[in-house]
Structure 1
């Protein structure tokens, strides 16, 4: 598995998981409501940049993450240009990239153990009800944690595939991209399942 979490002592690293998650949710919500508001879009990008700077990852880390999303930006841009104006397309792509970068920053500054413990505390009041349904706060928190971390992982897989295709001079066809992406995702899922099984989680 690709190690995403970067240990640190910055303010963002010490910020509670719930506060970070709420910040991402609110940013995504505001970006969706004010879809064509330039001030809102610039504000979200400024917030994203500030987060990377405060975390100690810095501008170089932000640019590295953004570079890995270049093919995602291309995939988002081309279909929208058919139906939307260039300005509308630019707003949509910039909005998505900002939220994805925030999610990446969340995984870079938040340990898996912190995510698990936070979700467990949130679900603890309803744990008796969950047990009756054959579930538990621990399992649900683990599933949510894995889901959150899967998004930047799959995006990084996609970026690696496109880089390899470009190095070999291959044309980016759906088949040449989707199949290796599926294989890498399934391999990651299998490795995760084996790691969880080794820890007694089933």
Structure 2
């Protein structure tokens, strides 16, 4: 997942990780109160422009995120029966915006920089509860990183289905997509567990851990 970071020196890369995460938080809060479709359209244009400023790698990432559209449309259809088409449409646009901006942070922020921010933010609460700062911050960072991973996974399954059947899969891929996503999370958990066991098995690492 580290490869999801686009190595470059654009203006977005130069913004500190803390500032980008704060902007994402404020944007998330604003989304709950924003109901004007015109502002949502402006937000989409701004997001597309931000990806374009990264260059061709950014545009490729944006296109890859389009693989999540069937899932978002499925959610919107369900919401339409509950709260009406207009509200469902706005909710879908808000969800798209949040996914895009979260992935934009993923693409322009190194994992280590995000981990440092999460460790500082969560340190007081984590100490109070007695949890590990590094483990919690790693979990939050991985959660953000998984957005483009899942988008790529959906795209691969969609292409495989189309190649076999010469038809669009529609919502037929939802169950295998969820199953594969859960299997992927198990693989990540096993990899992290193996890495931790290897580190703790090294005498030098055990000494370092004891000193911490």
TM-score bracket for this pair, using the shorter chain length: 0.7 to 0.9
8 Å CA contact 1:103, 1:152 repeated in 2: no
Question: Which consecutive residues of structure 2, in runs of 5 or more, have no partner in the other structure?
Answer: 201-212
CA gap of 1:138–1:63, structure 2 versus 1, over 3 A, is closer
TM-fit CA distance, 1:142:
0.8
Moved more, 90-99 or 186-195: 186-195
1:75-97 deviations in Å (ceiling 9; x for gaps)? 13332444555443332222211
In the alignment of these two chains, the number of paired residues is: 196
* Aligned position for 2:180: 184
1:156 aligns with 2:152: yes
Q: Matched residues in 1 for 2:13 and 2:112: separation?
A: 13
8 Å CA contact 1:165, 1:172 repeated in 2: no
1:59-111 deviations in Å (ceiling 9; x for gaps)? 73364144222212321333244455544333222221111111111111112
Q: TM-score under structure 2 normalisation?
A: 0.75
TM-fit CA distance, 1:118:
1.6
Name the one with the larger helix percent: 2
Q: TM-score under structure 1 normalisation?
A: 0.78
Cα RMSD over matched residues? Answer: 2.9
8 Å CA contact 1:48, 1:101 repeated in 2: yes
8 Å CA contact 2:115, 2:137 repeated in 1: yes
* Aligned position for 2:3: 3
Q: Matched residues in 2 for 1:26 and 1:127: separation?
A: 23
Q: Which has the larger Rg? A: 2
